[in-house]
Structure 1
């Protein structure tokens, strides 16, 4: 994704990158018949998504699997963030192109995922609606 490259170069706009992701069709590998492939790390669950078939193939090969044997679905980034992440049932986000040269994490924070599943909600941060900041 163009905006990811720009961010990595220090010239990108995070809001533009997020907007581009939300409007983009991404590939999500399936585990079994219907479950999306996820990875758990440090208490968060990451839905794996890929910007192209090449990025997906690189990931599958990195796992030692045959690239033709990995079923996937194509879905809009907005659908992943607004529907799939809340359906995880645990805090989670999106891991984009994890085996590629330009991986990007979209963490479960306000402004990226729905507020109700964000880990930086004021009630979780000890605040009382102060925008997630804890006053000292």
Structure 2
């Protein structure tokens, strides 16, 4: 099952959390780049909310277009990169100062999903629900 279908199943109460995270890790996500179309050196587009840096990610160009329209940027050409969900949480999240997670399809009221910085989603050293001693193997 693809990520959008797993999100839908989970939101209706019929999904499995393990399958959802597995599909998220296997999915190729589209992540808008910060800055404008002539300057993509700003990194990945994200927002800060509730003490967490949330990277925006989308399952397809249509979901990303709905996000742009919701922001009043439908006519703006925003560059993006395609990245595996696993690479986003395993390689990008650890580079962020402070907790970070991924917000998928945030402009879709019935198809959005947050993947927070917790064990099982992000590396243990980045998970907010694991103490520093446990993540380091101490204790």
Q: Same fold (TM over 0.5)?
A: yes
Confirm or deny that 1:9 pairs with 2:12: yes
The residue matched to 1:102 in structure 2 has which SS?
Answer: coil
Contact 2:125–2:132 (CA under 8 A) maintained in structure 1: no
Cross-structure match for 2:33: 30
Contact 1:57–1:67 (CA under 8 A) maintained in structure 2: no
Contact 1:48–1:94 (CA under 8 A) maintained in structure 2: yes
Deviation track 1:27-56 (CA, whole Å, cap 9, x = no partner) reads 000012131000000111000000010000
Contact 2:26–2:86 (CA under 8 A) maintained in structure 1: yes
Ranges of 4+ aligned residues in structure 1 off by more than 6 Å:
none
Deviation track 1:61-80 (CA, whole Å, cap 9, x = no partner) reads 11111355111000000000
Residue segments in structure 2 that go unaligned for 5+ positions in a row = none
**What's the TM-score once normalised by structure 1's chain length?**
0.87
- Aligned Cα root-mean-square deviation (Å): 1.7
Residue segments in structure 1 that go unaligned for 5+ positions in a row = 130-136
